[in-house]
Amino acid sequence: MIFFDRARRHGPISVAVALAAAALLGGCATYTPSQLSAMSAADICELEYRQGRNLSADGKRAIESELQRRNDNCRNHAAEVNERFAAFMYRETYGKGDSPP
């Protein structure tokens, strides 16, 4: 109820701006070193590729430091990440009709 009352008092534009700001701040993804250490390097690189702009600064640093700890980088896994993304896009585009209910 408070939300609708505020929309009437301040107008829909101010409410839309507040919701957009909350979505932007809430959309930042952060990963802990323990979460990343349990993943393969290809998984970490795929995560970085897919999350890209949604990663928080801490998340980006955690990914970089985990890859550095492993003495690895995402260039070594680019082919696998690209194949995974192509397979994902194929499933999203064509695979749902072929899947059993």
pLDDT value at residue 39: 93
What is the reported pTM? Answer: 0.64
Nearest to 45 by CA among 60, 58, 57: 60
Parent domain of 18? 1-27
Same domain, 46 and 82: yes
Same domain, 50 and 71: yes
pLDDT value at residue 60: 92
Same domain, 23 and 35: no
> Which portions of the chain are predicted below pLDDT 50?
1, 7, 19, 21-26
Residue 98 has phi, psi (to 5 degrees) of: -85, -15
pLDDT value at residue 95: 77
Question: What is the count of structural domains for the chain?
Answer: 2
Same domain, 18 and 36: no
Same domain, 4 and 35: no
Query: Apex CA 35: angle with CA 30 and CA 36, to 5°?
Result: 85
Same domain, 14 and 35: no
Same domain, 21 and 37: no
Rounded to a whole number of angstroms, the CA Rg of the chain reads 19
